[in-house]
Structure 1
C-alpha cells in the first residue's frame, strides 16, 4: 500500500496533500516568488524525462518547506512562543533574491510561508549577544561601508583619510544589529539541521540534496 504521508515528524504524519496544496497555490510566475527554486530544475528542457524529474524535485523541495514549518511550530510551542496569524495569501508571498542567495531557497521559502519559522528566528535574534570587540572589529575592517555622504560622492579612499569615515559612535548600533541578525540566521540553520535529523520521509519526498536518490542536487 502506498504511503499517504510525505514525512513523519516525531511520529506525526504530514499528508502528501499538504505538499500538493502548497505546490498548487505557489504561483509559477515571477522572479522572487515562493517557487523561485522550482523554476530552476529542468526549466530549459521540455522532454518527458526532464519534466518528470522537475516535478519530483518540486515535490521534494515543497516537502522541506512544509517540514520546516512543522518543526518551527513545535519549537515555538516548546519555547512558549505564539506565532502571529498569517493572513497573507500563499500565492502572493514573495522572496527577495538576496534572501534566496543568503539563506538558500528552502529556508527563504519557509520563512516567507511560516509565521512559526519567523517567530523562531526573531526569538533566536533576541538571544544573540554580540561582543563590543566584534562590533569594533567589523567597523575597523570594513571602513569602506561607512564613508560619509561627501566622501561617497567624491570617491574618497576609505583608508586614506579618517575624516571621510562616519564616527564609530554613529554607526555602532547598526553594526551590532547586523551582526546579531547574521548570528541568528546561523543559529536558525543549526537548529534546523538538528531538528530535521530524525524526520522520516516517504519515497519521493526526500530532501532535494539527498544523495541516495538519482535527482539529488546539492544546492538548496
Structure 2
C-alpha cells in the first residue's frame, strides 16, 4: 500500500540543454546543470553548457579536462562516478556513453553505443559491475573488463519521464508517462511484479531508500511505497 505525502508539488519534467555540456570548476557552479562528488570526496565533476569537460580536484588547485581529447567533442548531458570513485561515466547528445579514468583524465574504452537519441542519465550499480545508460530506452553494460564494456541483453523500458533509480540490492525503478512505475531486476532484466500505479499524470522523480525497502515516487503528489516481496519476485505482469 502506498502512502501519499503531499498534494501538488509543482515538479515538472527535467529539461537538458542539448546544445552542449561541460564539466566545470567550482567557481562556475552558478552555470551547472548537474554536479557530482566522487565517493572519495577528492574530485568533483559538473555538467553545463559547453563542449568541453573538466574534472576538479577539490583538495588541490589541479584541474583536469575531459572531452576535448575526443576527436569530435559532443555535448555532455549527464555524469556519474563509480562507487569506488575511480571511473567517471558521461552520457552525450550523440547517443553514446564514455568511461573515463578519474585519476588520469583519459578514456578507458571506446564510446559505448546503443541509443538513437541523447543519453539523459548514466548510473553505476552499487557494486560497480554494471553501467546503466538511459535515453528513450534503458541499456546495460557489463564492466567486468572496463576496457571492453560488454552490452547485456536488449534495450528495455520506454516512455520514460523520470530519471530511473537504482537500489542498493540491484533493482531499478522506471517512471512512465501513464503515471506508473515499473520495478526491474537488473541481473535478469525481468519485471518485479506489476506496475505501481497511483499518479494521474507522468512520474517526474523516483528514489529508493538506502536499504532498498521503500520507494518514493513523485508526480503531482509524492507517494511512498513499501516494496516487500517485490524486491525479489520476478513477474512478467504489467
Indicate the TM-score class for this superposition, using the shorter chain for normalisation.
under 0.3
Give the strand-richer structure, 1 or 2.
2
**Greater percentage in helix:** 1
**Greater RCO between the two (CA within 8 Å, min separation 6)?**
1
Query: Normalising by structure 1, what TM-score?
Result: 0.25
- Structure-2-length-normalised TM-score: 0.24
